[in-house]
Amino acid sequence: MTSWEYMKKRRKWTAARILRGMSDQSWEKFQLFFSEHGVECPDKLEYDTAMKELHPPAPAAKKPPTKKKTAATRSRKKTAAKK
């Protein structure tokens, strides 16, 4: 069985590249892929890191700031005209 480190270094395989090519990206299918190809499966931590890279968490939705209501004011005071 070929080691994962060899495939990673010499063949430029990464967990993220492999996951991108898979339709079902579950851990079980990931392990099955490696057993079918005769390669040692990387640890779960590497799988989890690749999944976070492919599917980053959505940022929290920000609420738009509420506008303060102000009373309407006059720009000029009306005064009685002196003649």
42-79 pLDDT tens trace: 999 999 999 999 888 777 777 777 877 777 777 776 66
Asked if the structure places residue 61 within a domain, the reply is: no
Residues 6+ apart with CB under 8 A from 46: 15
Asked if the structure places residue 65 within a domain, the reply is: no
Nearest to 42 by CA among 1, 2, 5: 5
Asked if the structure places residue 23 within a domain, the reply is: yes
Asked if the structure places residue 10 within a domain, the reply is: yes
Q: What is the pTM of this model?
A: 0.65
Written as six digits, the tokens of 3 are 């080691």
> Hey, what amino acid is at 47?
Y
Lowest mean pLDDT among 17-26, 37-46, 63-72: 63-72
Backbone angles phi, psi at 40, to 5 degrees: -65, 135
